[in-house]
Amino acid sequence: MKKIRLIIQREYLSRVKKKSFIIMTLLGPVLMASIWIVPFFLATMSDEKKVIAVVDETGIFTDKFESTDKVFFVYETDLEKAREDLEKEKYSAILSVIKPSYTIPDKAILLYSDKSPGIVTQSYISNAMQTILKNNLLISAHNISKDDYDLINRTSIKLNTEDIRTGEKSYTKIKTYLGIFSGILIYFFIFMFGAQVMRGVIEEKTSRIVEVIVSSVKPFQLMMGKIVGVALVGLTQFALWILLTLSIITTLQFSMPDVFKSPKTEQAFDAGQKIPSADQVQLQKLQHQEVREMISGLFSIDYGLMICMFLFYFLAGYLLYASLFASIGAAVDSEADTQQFMMPITIPLLFAIIMSNFVINNPDGPVAFWLSVIPFTSPIIMMVRIPFGVPYWQLALSMGLLTLGFIATTWMAGKIYRTGILMYGKKTSYAELWKWLRYQ
């Protein structure tokens, strides 16, 4: 036991002290924090204010547009003068409405601009025009009051999904992202740290130190020491990532409180006394709905469960594959020779990543169930499923099978490893590996 501890210690320290580890540890949180922060910035990021000159021959739209903090309307009568001003960059665009206006739709309404105006601006203008036209029609032709009109206009429907057990909104979209994200993260972690184990074994073999060491400890101890050491490196990295990410987010939240409004205040604003006009509602819907959904989604996730499950599936999945990586390292003489043996490892992992798209669409279906229970794909697929909620018995089954799985692969890999590390200069084949497996 003391010897294994020594090996773990060496494997751990020699990796943690490397420059590449330190760089990865610092870069990771920046990436992860940005995933969290970008939606907030998107929500508040305002484009520069756009000034639109309206040249309306019909008079229907004159003085009817409501300016917001993003789009400001100016009314002109002369198109030529407006064009000149546009060139002087006084306006961002000119909206020209030619008489007779809405009876001849094609080319009757034109938006001139230098740079093509943003899609949000465009849809805002066309929405506003539609509203004004409708307004005009309803009020003048059908005699409906402005209040009634506003009422009609706000009868939009939004489909809210809610989890029947927790009574929370289900935020399918954000869960999809989160599921896929954690699945991919597991995939990367398994490959990254598995490859580290493999490289470590190859290093010991090519530097010929391995025979010195196995005269002091058993080959299996050396292999396990390396695998556990690298796992601890992975956990350290993961813990540092979480810590640093959280500190980046909290620092930013502290220094820029405006940006990180929690969705509750946003909703309060929504339902507040100030009833926004139909146009503003429209604009807000266009710009904010998705982002706001995402933010409240981010707040709705059970991070504790996610992190616990992530740790388990990372560790167990890593253990399942790491010993296989180790046995590949033992079977070859250099990293260039690993290709032929990498296939059986790459295929199930890649398959899981590809299938995760399918699983997302039907997270409780039979495919999702089987793939999240079979040890070789379960670390990835189960992580994809977890944000959507998985019955406890399935979780238990999956975790149990994965544990059995890594015990089995470790036992098998240990046998290949034991023989492989002392074999030099011979090109190994699958038949050879099979023989090694059966040695006493």
Partner 1 sequence: MYLFSAHNITKNYAAHTALKNVSIDVPDQSIFGLLGPNGAGKTSLIRIINQITAPDEGELYFAGEKLRQEHISLIGYLPEERGLYKKMKVGEQALYLAQLKGVSKADALKKLKFWFEKFDILDWWNKKVEELSKGMQQKIQFIVTILHDPKLLIFDEPFSGFDPINVNLLKEEILNLRNKGATIIFSTHNMSSVEELCDNIALINKSEKILDGKVHEIKNTYKANIFEITYHGHSAIIKNTLPQSFELISDIQKNGISLLQIKIPISATPNDLIQNLLPQIEILSFNEILPTMNDIFIQKVNEQNR
Binding site for partner 1 (CB under 8 A): 3, 6-7, 10, 14, 203-204, 207-209, 211-217, 219, 422, 424, 435, 439-440
Closest approach, Cβ 436 to partner 1, in A, equals: 9
Nearer Cβ to partner 1, position 2 or 158?
Answer: 2
Which three-class secondary structure state does DSSP give residue 192?
A: helix
Residues 153, 224: Cα–Cα separation, whole Å: 67
Closest approach, Cβ 221 to partner 1, in A, equals: 10
Closest approach, Cβ 213 to partner 1, in A, equals: 7
Nearer Cβ to partner 1, position 219 or 375?
Answer: 219
Nearer Cβ to partner 1, position 214 or 240?
Answer: 214
> Per the structure block, which two tokens stand in for 63?
């003085």
Please answer whether residues 420 and 210 qualify as being in contact, where contact means their C-beta atoms are separated by less than 8 angstroms. Answer: no
Closest approach, Cβ 215 to partner 1, in A, equals: 4
Nearer Cβ to partner 1, position 27 or 422?
Answer: 422
Which three-class secondary structure state does DSSP give residue 93?
A: strand
Instruction: List the alpha helices (DSSP H) in 168-302.
Output: 172-206, 210-214, 219-255, 263-271, 278-300
Closest approach, Cβ 418 to partner 1, in A, equals: 8
Query: How many residues are recorded in the chain?
Result: 440
Provide the residue type at 372 as one letter. S
Nearer Cβ to partner 1, position 88 or 438?
Answer: 438
Closest approach, Cβ 16 to partner 1, in A, equals: 13
Nearer Cβ to partner 1, position 11 or 279?
Answer: 11
DSSP string covering 271-323, please?
HSSSPPPHHHHHHHHHHHHHHHHHHHHHHHS-HHHHHHHHHHHHHHHHHHHHH
Alpha carbon 56 to its chain's center: 46
Provide the residue type at 103 as one letter. T
